[in-house]
Amino acid sequence: MKSSISSLIFDLDGTLSDPSLGITRCYNYALEKHGHEPRDPQSLLRLIGPPLDEGFLTILPEAEDQEVVQLVTTYRERYLEVGFSENTIYPGIVEALEYFKNNKVRIGVCTSKREDFANSILSLFEISDYFAFVSGGDIGIPKTEQLSSLLANGKIDESAVMIGDRAIDITSARDNNLDGMGVLWGFGGYEELFESNPRAILKSTSELKSIVA
């Protein structure tokens, strides 16, 4: 780990909160609306983290671009209305954020989720004020590009650390010459994170404080 950390960048889904109920319901809502069979919610958990278009193509690999756009649009209709609120913050996250605030550690969010949705979730949990910035994604905008933009805009520098539960969080950080750390309370699992070559893997939210301790 780099000796001096300028800021911590948190993924949202699977890192700060558990969105599985809302996300799986929205996937199946969109699938049924467009004439497809709903999937077992457990099988959809692996789709949490990457962009929605990638998720729908995993389910329907033969889907054409226009259908994927329609599926994402329908998914977001339900997500905007109710899906975002079918979400729970992980135990220990608020305590960690308060610790960072008290120790003047700058923190932000970088999520594949659209920025307005991300802000709605942070507001739902009343934790918006802890974050100096929120970077949201969209179809065709990979997390690597989001981090690159944060660097280019001066929101972060090369001593920032990306923290997330999926390999894409770690590999996107490494693509931008940043350190990445994995967490095991989300949806990626140890093997996926280990293979992405993180600087560390945290087992529980209580270990977050150790990053800057």
Per-residue pLDDT tens for 77-121? 999 999 999 999 999 999 999 999 999 999 999 999 999 999 999
* Residue 22 CB coordination number (10 Å): 21
| CA 200 to chain centroid | 18
Report whether 153 contacts 1 (CB < 8 A): no
Residues 39 and 59: beta-carbon distance below 8 Å: yes
Could you give the CA distance from residue 32 to residue 71 in angstroms, rounded to a whole number?
Answer: 10
- pLDDT for position 16: 98
Residues 6+ apart with CB under 8 A from 175: 144, 147
d(CA 200, CA 121): 27
Tell me the percentage of the chain whose pLDDT exceeds 70. Answer: 99
Instruction: Identify residue 183 by its one-letter amino acid code.
Output: V
Angle between helices 167-175 and 143-152 (to 10 degrees): 40
CATH architecture of the domain with residue range 7-18+88-211: 3-Layer(aba) Sandwich (3.40)
In tens, the pLDDT along 117-136 reads: 999 999 999 999 999 999 99
Q: How confident is the model at residue 54 (pLDDT cuts 50, 70, 90)?
A: very high
CA dist 35 and 63 (Å) reads: 12
Token pair 């699938």 in the structure block, residue: 31
SS3 helix, strand, coil % of the chain, rounded to 5?
Answer: 50, 15, 35
Residue 19 has pLDDT above 90, yes or no: yes
Residue 161 has pLDDT above 60, yes or no: yes
Alpha-carbon distance 210 to 213, whole Å? 5
Spans of all domains in the chain: 7-18+88-211, 20-85
Q: Is 3.30.470.20 the CATH classification of the domain at 20-85?
A: no
Which letter does DSSP use for residue 13 in this model?
B
* pLDDT for the residue 139: 85
* pLDDT score of 3: 53
Our separate counts of H helices and E strands in the chain read 9, 8
Give tens-digit pLDDT for 1-12.
445 899 999 999
